[in-house]
Structure 1
Amino acid sequence: MSTASRRARRLVPALAALGVGALALAACGPAGSPSSGESTGEFTYLGQTENTTIVGTLETLSKDQCAAEEEAAPLKADDIAGTQWDQQLQLLASQDGLSSMSMAAGTPSLMSQFIDAGQVLNLSETLDELGVADRIQPAAESTIKALYGDGSLYALPTEFNIEGFWYNKELLSDNGVEVPETWDDLVSAAETLDAAGVQPFSAAGKDGWPVTRLVGDYIFRDLGADALQKVADGEAKLTDPEYVAAADAVAELGKAGYFGDAVGSVDYNAAMNTFLTGKAAFFYMGSWALANFADEAQNQIGGPDNIGFARFPAVDGGAGSIDEIPANVGIPVMFAQKNYGDDTGAWIKCIAENYGDTVLADSGVVSGFVVDNPPADLPSTTQAVQAEIEAAPSSVLWFEALFSSEGTSVSQTNGGGLATGSVSGQQFMELVQAANDKG
């Protein structure tokens, strides 16, 4: 297979789960790591057609750091269109035909089916056996474990996106605004900026999800990192007063007009442009936006050096910690348990040891692997993200991570209403809870 140009191909994370029917999965025994076996003759990889970064990095490794692994079990790569991804993975799994390595299912619940059926490697055990358990950043490992809810690692983070408030350093300095550390600080900063004629926040109200991210983060800071897991487990509801308070807090920003005029018609690209042309001071977004920040044609506010990163602020008296960084792992990769042996183990070890440095140097992608030798010419924003990842002890998921597909859709459809002030926190939470209850 030919290698497409290596570049960071994601501008927006995978946000909505694909609605797919369940197929019976053939169980292959326990989900733990099997003992080493015979050579299978090749190391197969299956990815999405649209993603060239992962396969490009693997091919680079096969010619350099993983050359010995390539000789023992040559890399054989194939791809499927992303629009068919989960459906095709289900079909392959039902036929016991998963590749040695593949991009993980887009729907966490489907990954849970693979895990329960014993079809994917327990990488907590495998990495420990291979002596490379320390090659995964703690925050990335925390994110994957929370996503699949099993307490073990079943995928590797080929990218790792942290989220928070990016800010225009010059706009904050010119208006005497300090980087907010608490929610009250953030509201005060918005009031100051608005009074000075500066739009406080840029947000994609049309897409909805950047606004709902704020609701989820507020919940985590106020109620603790397990707050939305309790909702998923049926121990709490989004309509409980303490959860509604989070949506109300975001809706208050919308009522005050802090997201700008007609925010309900602003999509992702327009919101990015608003921030990068100096028309808004803050922009809540993930680190996948680094490519935009480094693009001189897009960034008209002084380049990456004029952009700072602030963690989502603490909520006074809240049970959560500002150190628990909101994150997602983009598209992680899983490994089939069937036919796992020495050759696949050697590939996994080599990937764990070398993927982080290679993908950062070649594609500018920040992964969840440990980086030993970062490029000297990394933009300041990328350096900041790398430092945040290395310092973060754990992470929290996004608002819809554990929702049903219908709950996710309803949340994102109505998120823009919070930014315009047309939907109250109570109304929003009632709509989303009802959608989740339907399953």
Structure 2
Amino acid sequence: MQRFRRLVAAIALAATATTTVAACGGGDNGDSSDAKVLKLWHYESENSAMGVGWNRAIELFKSEHPGVEVRFERKAFEQIQQNAGMIINSSEGPDIMEYNKGNATAGLLSSQGLLADLSSEADKRGWAGKLSPSLQTTARYSDKGVMGSGKWFGVPNYGEYVTVYYNKDLFQSNGVKVPTTMAEMTAAMDTFVGKGITPLGMAGAEYPAGQLFYQLALSKGDRQFVDNYQLYKNPVDFKADPLKYGADTFAQWVQKGYVAKNSASLKAEDMGTAFIGGKVPMIVSGSWWYGRFKTEMKANWDTFLFPGNTLQAGSSGNLWVVPENSKAKSLAYDFIDITLRPEIQDLIGNNGGVPVAADASKISDPKDRKLIEDFNTVSKSDGLAFYPDWPVPGYYDVLVSGFQGLINGSKSPDQVLDTIAKPYADGVKEITGK
């Protein structure tokens, strides 16, 4: 969410870290033809697939642009999420930045005139040819900040989706089979509960709770629901299915012990480290964790798509955006271009990421190939349903607060739906005037 991601493996661990490397020449698209500094911010951990790929991209950028200094800063996810508008509107902001895609984030900043229009660069550099139409949805925004049409304001170079991570050792030792239907999923969780094991790791203080709610709702939803909820095609009734089903089922899962009530105060990092440590058999979260689990997890593990769903939370990955105030736009465009090269795409894929333009035959690890194949399965069937916090600005915090209350028992499903319905309606009205 705002990537409810986001999302976001290892980000909570990463205190702001700054490194400087020598890099590159080139002009600045008229803003400053003698630009000698490129300020680059992102929030991926160093050992994540994107972190590995982008470190290599910086090296290539350095070799191809002698004479320019690259000032890279790793920022915390929440730091950028909460202060992006203020940051990029100041002289201290970056020239290029990783930012969350969606109406409430990149869309909002584009509608405020804070992001550079990348449309001419997308055409000139062939970015559109490297991204499928579904992946371009999050790159383009209308003048009102609604994704899916209009000008290019960001460029993704990886994809992402929500899946189920499971500990194969815990499944085997407890006689649990990988579920392929929702009925089998609940039966598996009943087995774990019967043995005193909480089956599903959770984090109520950040995006994971919203992701689970949305996955449950999507199990009863269709593309029309997604278009209504995300793109405002028709009004959304929060007291009817599929949203009602999502909230009611989430509450039932808490009551049955599938989700621990004390997880209401936990953050995504807590959930991830619990899974790494073998304390929970499953988590429902994004592909951005994959590289970290591959590096840090000792137990045998794998993934499966949320059972029975044809729709999955997911989209392109986060975007490279260029602030309108950037003094080094041309350099920023050069860096984006490098991240879409086959070398970087293959590197992302071989480190547990989901590249948008990799050669699958170059992906050596079977798990990595499966990750990409599952994403392709979802993407090709028009199954990417974006994220629950995307529709309106500020909705991430609304959803976090609402589902914390559902986990700790302070709110009923109907109360949560009331809590999240009004900010949604108000936000849609502010954007569309309806």
- Normalised to the residue count of structure 1, the TM-score between the two structures is 0.70
What is aligned with 2:359? 372
In structure 2, the partner of 1:388 is 374
Contact 1:400 1:411 in 2 (8 A): yes
Listed one character per residue, the Cα deviations across residues 72-126 of structure 1 (whole Å, up to 9, x for unaligned) are: x95755769645432132357xxxx997744447784463355455963354x64
Report if the CA contact (8 A) 1:114-1:120 is conserved: no
Q: Deviations over 1:340-391 (max 9, x none)?
A: 99987766544422463375389x472543123887775x544432333344
- C-alpha displacement of 1:150: 3.4
Q: Secondary structure at 1:199's aligned position in 2?
A: coil
- 2:423 aligned with 1:435, yes or no? yes
Contact 1:55 / 1:77 at 8 angstroms: preserved in 2?
no
Aligned pair in 2 of structure 1 residues 86, 107: CA closer, same or farther (>3 Å)? farther
Contact 1:199-1:259 within 8 A present in 2 as well: yes
**SS of the residue 1:179 aligns to:** coil
1:48 to 32, 41, 44: 41
Partner Cα distance (1:106, 1:186) in 2 = 31
Gapped regions of structure 2 (runs ≥ 5): 1-6, 13-28, 428-434
Tell me which residue corresponds to 1:310.
Answer: 304
Which SS does the other structure have where 1:284 is aligned?
strand
Partners of 2:335 and 2:278 in 1: how far apart? 46
1:250 is displaced (CA, Å) by 1.3
Assess if the C-alpha contact under 8 Å between 1:12 and 1:288 holds in 2.
no
State the match for 2:26 in structure 1: none
Structure 2 equivalent of residue 224 of structure 1: 222
**2:389 equivalent to 1:403:** no
Residues 336 and 347 of structure 1, relative CA distance in 2, 3 Å threshold? farther
Cα distance in 2 between the residues matched to 1:191 and 1:292 = 29
Q: 1:87 to 1:374 in 2, by over 3 A?
A: farther
Tell me the distance in 2 between the aligned counterparts of 1:228 and 1:292: 30
Q: Alignment RMSD, CA only?
A: 4.2
Residue pair 2:238, 2:244 contacting (<8 A) in 1 also: yes
What is the alpha-carbon distance in structure 2 between the residues aligned to residue 48 and residue 281 of structure 1? 34
Q: Alignment partner of 2:200: what SS?
A: strand
2:40 counterpart letter in structure 1: G
The correspondence for 1:121, drawn from 112, 117, 122, is 117
Structure 2 residue matching 1:223: 3-state secondary structure:
coil
Give the superposition deviation at 1:227.
Answer: 2.4
Q: CA deviation at 1:397?
A: 1.5
Instruction: Tell me the equivalent position of 2:168.
Output: 169
Whichever residue aligns with residue 389 of structure 2, its letter is E
SS in 2 for 1:254: helix
On the 8 A contact 1:251/1:423 being kept in 2, the answer is: no
Q: What is the one-letter code of the residue matched to 2:308?
A: A
Aligned partners of 1:339 and 1:208: how far apart in 2? 34
| Number of residue pairs the alignment of both structures matches | 384
2:413 alignment partner, one of 409, 419, 425: 425
**Residues 259 and 354 (structure 1), Cα distance of their counterparts in 2 relative to 1, 3 Å cut:** same
Q: 1:121 to 1:351 in 2, by over 3 A?
A: farther
Indicate conservation of the 8 Å contact 1:158/1:331, yes or no. Answer: yes
Which residue does the alignment assign to 1:90? 89
CA distance in 2, matches of 1:195, 1:371: 44
Is the 8 Å Cα contact of residues 41 and 94 (structure 2) preserved in structure 1?
Answer: no
CA distance in 2, matches of 1:371, 1:107: 24
SS of residue matched to 2:89: helix
Alpha-carbon offset, residue 217 of structure 1: 1.9
Closer, same or farther: CA 47–171 of 1 in aligned 2, 3 Å: same
1:431 Cα offset (Å): 0.9
Identity of aligned residues (%): 15
Structure 1 residues 246 and 63, CA gap change in structure 2 (3 angstroms): same
CA distance in 2, matches of 1:342, 1:413: 41
* 2: CA distance, partners of 1:41 / 1:308: 50
- Structure 2 distance, partners of 1:60, 1:229, is 41
- The 1:168/1:347 distance shift into structure 2, 3 A limit, reads closer
Q: For residues 103 and 148 of structure 1, do their structure 2 counterparts lie closer, same or farther at Cα, with a shift above 3 Å needed? A: farther
Query: 1:262 deviation in Å?
Result: 2.7
Compute the displacement of 1:411 (Å). Answer: 1.6
Rounded to whole Å, the distance in 1 between the matches of 2:71 and 2:361 is: 27
Alignment of 1:313-332 (within 5 A): 313-314=307-308, 321-322=310-311, 324=312, 326-327=314-315, 329-332=317-320
Residue 171 of structure 1: SS of its match in structure 2?
helix
**1:105–1:111 CA contact under 8 A, matched in 2:** yes
Corresponding position of 2:3 = none
Query: What is the match of residue 148 of structure 2?
Result: 150
Q: SS in structure 2 opposite 1:294?
A: helix
Residue 199 of structure 2 is matched in structure 1 by: 200
- 1:318 maps to which residue? none
State the shift of 1:230 in Å: 1.9
Q: What are the residue-to-residue correspondences of 1:10-21 with 2, within 5 Å?
A: 11=9
How many Å apart are 1:133 and its aligned residue?
3.3
Structure 1's 278 and 401: CA in aligned 2 closer, same or farther, altered over 3 A? Answer: same
Deviation string, structure 1 residues 304-334 (Cα, Å, up to 9, x no partner): xx2111112225xxxxx24x45246245334
Is residue 166–residue 308 contact of structure 1 (8 Å, CA) maintained in 2? yes
Asked if the contact 2:207–2:268 (Cα under 8 Å) also holds between the matched residues in 1, the reply is no
After TM superposition, give the deviation of residue 281 of structure 1 in Å.
Answer: 1.7
- Go from structure 1 to structure 2 and tell me whether the alpha carbon gap of 1:388 and 1:91 turns closer, same or farther (over 3 Å shift): same
Aligned-residue offset at 1:203: 0.9
Query: 2:97 & 2:137 partners in 1: Cα distance?
Result: 21
Shift of 1:138: 6.2
Partner of 1:21: none
